[in-house]
Amino acid sequence: MTDCQAQTQFNERPKLVVGIVVDQMRWDYLGRYYDKYQEDGLKRLITKGYSCNNCLINYLPTVTAIGHTSVYTGTTPAFHGICGNSFYKNGVKVGSCEDHDVTTVGSDKKGASSPVNLLATTIGDQLRLHTDFKSKVIGVSYKDRAAILPAGRSANAAYWIDNKAGQFISSTWYMQELPKWAKDFNAQMAKNKELKKVGKDVGLYPLCGHLTADMAIAALKGEQLGKGEVTDMLCVSFSQTDVIGHQYGTRGEHTDEAYLELDKDIAKLLKAFDEQVGEGNYLVFLTADHGGAQNYQYMIDHKLHGGAWMGDEEHVAEAYKHIAKKFGLTKNVVRDCLDYRLVLDKEAIREQGIDEQELRDAIVEELLKLPHVAFAFDFKKIATAPVPEFLKERVLKGYHHDRSGDIIFMLDPGWYGFNTKWSSPIGTTHGEWNPYDAHIPLLFYGWKIRHGETSREVHITDIAPTVCQKLHIQQPNACVGEPITEVIAQ
């Protein structure tokens, strides 16, 4: 091979990169529904693509905003700063995409969203940097965070659904007005009788996935993605699977329907890519932001260890009574409990003249007395905490000093936090290190991808550097993952 030929190969890129994230999709769903998947949907990705069968989330906690961000940045909350669906920033609780300096575009919804809280670049940001911002990058999802965070700060657009309006919207971070193709799509949505019937509960129905797929295809055609001289990127996230999972769990007719209908949406997307870009001209990866635990009652009914941990309503409240009595508290010193992490009120601690470290130690001691708490420790004392090293590593990767709180605890396998105000008794949740939450699918398909599989352990943070190396562009600027050599070599 001549140097000229080698250089030509080095500069080869697909016309389009498509990232697909399925919210709360466990790895074992690939096998559970395999016989029911149609040939041109998920089964096409499995039988003609490359599967990483041991892809794990390598940080804590395992929640939506963090997962979507980590897929596309190749890094963890310690660096990208998205520490949960909600977290404390400079002492103020914020949503992961909350931004008071922008306004909604496409409806009269109060409050708007943007990637303002994201500290690191994404695959799409790097692609735009590499092409002097000629590449188009667009995100589409039901949830704002699932559209915005994958696409990155420099994205051309992100679109998500306003439930009340029954429309796809965006914000002034990206544009002042929706493009014509998006307005036309919303006009068609307004005529959708099924959407009007389900109303605000659209996330609980496969219809939500159909709308997401159709909007992604509308963006593909409307923006002419994959038709230009440089590579474009489309980030598609399916959120209905998470909403349905929280409500109905990992088993049952609703979850079964959700994944079989998702399969149809994947097939519809692939057909559109074939027609618009050409088979073999686009690169697809499919993964999840996290998995989900088996419903606690389902576990109990089958004599398996597990249960509902009544944290906010019972256990943590009981622990706090002992703390209040010991220190003579007149004002609450715990501001919040988010994703098994306690956020302390430093001002209230100072006002009451309490030694903060002594208080921290006492809280950890009380947490460890609670039933089904496996580990608890102060972030400041993680080095000496009696916790397995691999868990310490995941905790550190998920820890940002200003945004992650002060004390973390973990539950026994099969147990998860339950709140009677919002938790479904037949549903599920996620957030822990265990395989049911942390083992996710990872499929590559299309441009320069041969069929195959590996059981070697890879991580959610390895996706971004793998895609970037396939494209011969620089990795995201806080990337800590490693390219998956089995995929790169193809």
Residues taking part in catalysis: 64
Per-residue buried b or exposed e for 111-128, using 16+ beta carbons within 10 Å of the residue's own CB: ebbbbbbbbbbbbbbbbb
Rounded CA-CA distance 207/211 in Å is 6
User: How far is 66 from 327, CA to CA, in rounded Å?
Assistant: 35
CA-CA distance, 255 to 478, in Å (whole number)? 36
Stretch (H or E) spanning 446: strand 442-446
**277, 226 in Cβ contact below 8 A?**
yes
Where do the DSSP E strands lie in 3-132? 16-22, 50-52, 55-56, 86-89, 92-95, 98-99, 104-105, 112-113
CA gap 298, 387 in Å, rounded: 29
**H runs (alpha helix) in 172-315:** 180-190, 193-198, 207-222, 240-248, 253-276, 296-301
Please name which of 93, 72, 238, 39 lies closest in space to residue 150, comparing C-alpha atoms. 72
3-state secondary structure of 91: coil
In the chain, the largest separation of any two C-alpha atoms, in whole Å, equals: 79
DSSP 8-class letter at 356: H
How is residue 324 written in tokens? 């209040």
Asked whether 313 and 448 are in contact (CB, 8 A), the reply is no
C-alpha distances in Å from residue 61, one per residue of 57, 187, 433? 9, 39, 7
Would residue 323 be called left, alpha or beta, if left means φ above 0 and alpha means ψ between -120 and 50 degrees? Answer: alpha
Task: Tell me which DSSP letter residue 412 carries.
Answer: P
Beta-strand relationship, 452-454 and 439-440: unpaired
SS3 of residue 186 by DSSP: helix
